[in-house]
Amino acid sequence: AFEAAGATLVATDSSSGRLSGMFPKLANTADHLLADGVDITHPEAAQAFIDETLRRFKRIDVLINTVGGYRAGTPLHETSLETFDLMMNLNVRSMLIMCRAVIPTMLKQGTGKVVNVSSPIANHGSENASAYSAAKSAVARITESMAAEYKRAGLNINAILPGTIDTPQNHAAMPEADSSTWVTPNALADVILFLSSDAAHIIQGVLLPVTGKG
């Protein structure tokens, strides 16, 4: 979606070679940067990635934090601390680290947009999903706080709250579910693209539900 809109794309992935395989025509070009094998839950790795971005392109206009993960299915007393740590690291720590690395540049520019990914579960607890619910709630509250902190500096900070996303992983995990009500990745991309555009310059601190027909 962003490529079709004419954007210069900078993307990273923790796995080696996956991004290049997904977007071969964007790899190894001067117009875009695909950085494989970067774990952005580590501040040093994230900062090096951002430093390379600025060296190449001199500015960062939009930050989209899509790194996240889901683990649930047990009541609190059966939920391991490893699960809590994993949910916080993937969903919250990754966002915090990237925002801390990018926002100083946006402040110098006097402009920038950040789109985070939370979840409808951020607004209420859910049975057997305490760790995930807490993590996504943290994303939502941090988004609201950032919006208040940076709105007078020319930055727009918002988040989307997707429903169940129509992915192969979710089909495999829920084979009996009615996937006709799920949200497609393309539809999410359209919403994120809008929040990243000049048309959304007056939207600030919004937690936008994107739940499809579900």
> Which residue in the block uniquely carries the two structure tokens 């997707």?
162
From the candidates 49, 70, 132, 150, give the one annotated as an active-site residue.
Answer: 132
Count the Cβ atoms, other than its own, within 10 Å of residue 8.
Answer: 16
Active site residue 132: yes
State how far the Cα of 46 lies from the Cα of 183, in Å rounded to an integer.
29
State how far the Cα of 123 lies from the Cα of 133, in Å rounded to an integer.
8
State how far the Cα of 95 lies from the Cα of 86, in Å rounded to an integer.
14
State how far the Cα of 7 lies from the Cα of 18, in Å rounded to an integer.
21
Cβ 71 vs Cβ 53: under 8 Å: no
DSSP state of 10: E
State how far the Cα of 2 lies from the Cα of 9, in Å rounded to an integer.
7
The catalytic residues are 132
